């Protein structure tokens, strides 16, 4: 309550001032909310993965006859890029914990570039496939799973861009307050983990 002038008490009733003060008092639980959100999100993927596994086990020949083999080299490289981008991004959070805003910007920018390469690689893979969305059950699953994941990578990229834009205001992120950094990083890790599972299910199994 220090630092507020008596004038303010005359414009606001004491209750309002107290209420406002109280509102500030509680701790920041936004990260908990982000975790809950990601749990919910993971259930969308879970539903699709389960559907995929069921198809796999029910259909007599899997992938259905006549499905061209998937190339493993490009998606393999893509996987390595995406997984390592998670570590790169984590350096960004370490930087902001030391109040190093330029470090945060550099590491996040590198992450964004790696994410963009991943997306570009995916699109390139799509364009070189000998099957389409509607060819058969496997190809449908392939496109919807990878596409839905790609959508999440895009959202992750947007989050990183927002952090980069906001970090231009001096003092927006500091070692005390870096919710945006933390949340976007957790989201990115989540997208990463989903990809690893997806890669194992669709490409390797």
Partner 1 sequence: MAAVNFVTTILWLRAPGMSLFRMPVFVWTVLSAQLLQLVFLPSLTGAAIMLFCDLTLGTNFFNEQGDPVLYQHLFWFYSHPTVYVWALPAFGVFSEVIPAFSRNPLFGYRSVALASFGIAVLSSFVWVHHLFASGTPEWMRMLFMFSTELIAVPTGIKVFAWTATVWKSKLHLETPMLFALGGVVMFLFGGITGVMLGAVPFDLHVNNTHFVVGHFHYLVFNTITMAIFAGIYFWFPKMTGRMYAEGWGKIHFWLTFLGANLTFFPMFPLGLQGMVRRVSSYAPEYAGWNVIASLGGFLLGVSTLPFIANMVVSWLQGSKASDNPWHATGLEWCTSSPPPQDNFEETPQVDTPPLQLRHTQDVLAHNRAIVSFLKAVKTDRKNAIFRG
Q: Give the three-state DSSP class for 31.
A: helix
Nearest distance from residue 149's CB to partner 1, in Å? 12
First to last CA, the chain: 62
Binding flag, residue 66, partner 1 (CB under 8 A): no
Does 190 bind partner 1 (CB under 8 A)? Our answer is no
User: Is residue 45 a contact point for partner 1 (CB under 8 A)?
Assistant: yes
Answer yes or no: are the C-beta atoms of 70 and 126 closer than 8 Å.
Answer: no
Q: How far apart are CA 112 and CA 57, in angstroms?
A: 37
CB nearer partner 1, residue 134 or residue 169? 134
Please state, in angstroms and rounded to a whole number, the distance separating the CA atoms of residues 148 and 114: 19
Q: Based on CB atoms, which residue is closest to partner 1, 27 or 176?
A: 27
The residues in 102-141 that bind partner 1, with binding defined as CB under 8 A, are 133-134, 136-137, 140-141
Counting Cβ atoms within 10 Å, is residue 66 exposed (0-12), middle (13-18) or buried (19+)? exposed
CB of 131 to partner 1, least distance (A): 12
The sign of the torsion formed by the CA atoms of 179, 181, 185, 187 equals positive
Name which of 146, 92, 148, 81 is nearest 118 in CA terms.
81
Q: Pick from 7, 10, 24, 33: which binds partner 1 (CB under 8 A)?
A: 33
Q: Binding partner 1 by CB under 8 A: which of 19, 77, 165, 204? A: 19
Residue with Cβ nearer partner 1 (96 or 202): 202
* Residue 73 binds to partner 1 (criterion: CB under 8 A): no
Q: Note whether 29 binds partner 1 by CB under 8 A.
A: yes
Residues 6+ apart with CB under 8 A from 16: none
Q: Is 68 in the site for partner 1 (CB under 8 A)?
A: no
Residue ranges in contact with partner 1 by CB under 8 A: 1-2, 9, 14-19, 22-23, 26-27, 29, 32-33, 36-37, 39-48, 51, 54-55, 58, 64, 133-134, 136-137, 140-141, 143-144, 148
């Amino acid at each position: 309550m220090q630092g507020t002038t008596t004038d303010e008490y005359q414009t606001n009733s004491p209750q309002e001032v107290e209420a406002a003060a109280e509102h500030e008092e509680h701790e920041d639980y936004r990260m908990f909310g982000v975790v809950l959100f990601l749990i919910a999100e993971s259930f969308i993927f879970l539903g699709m993965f389960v559907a995929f596994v069921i198809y796999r086990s029910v259909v007599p020949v899997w992938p259905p006859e006549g499905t061209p083999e998937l190339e493993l080299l490009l998606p393999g490289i893509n996987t390595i890029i995406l997984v390592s981008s998670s570590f790169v991004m984590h350096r960004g959070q370490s930087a902001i914990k030391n109040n190093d805003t330029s470090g945060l910007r550099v590491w996040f920018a590198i992450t964004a570039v790696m994410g963009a390469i991943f997306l570009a690689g995916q699109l390139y893979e799509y364009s070189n496939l000998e099957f389409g969305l509607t060819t058969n059950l496997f190809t449908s699953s392939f496109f919807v799973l990878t596409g839905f994941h790609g959508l999440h990578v895009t959202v992750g990229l947007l989050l990183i861009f927002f952090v980069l834009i906001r970090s231009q205001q001096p003092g927006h992120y500091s070692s005390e307050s870096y919710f945006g950094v933390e949340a976007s990083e957790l989201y990115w890790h989540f997208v990463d983990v989903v990809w690893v599972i997806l890669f194992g299910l669709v490409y390797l199994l």
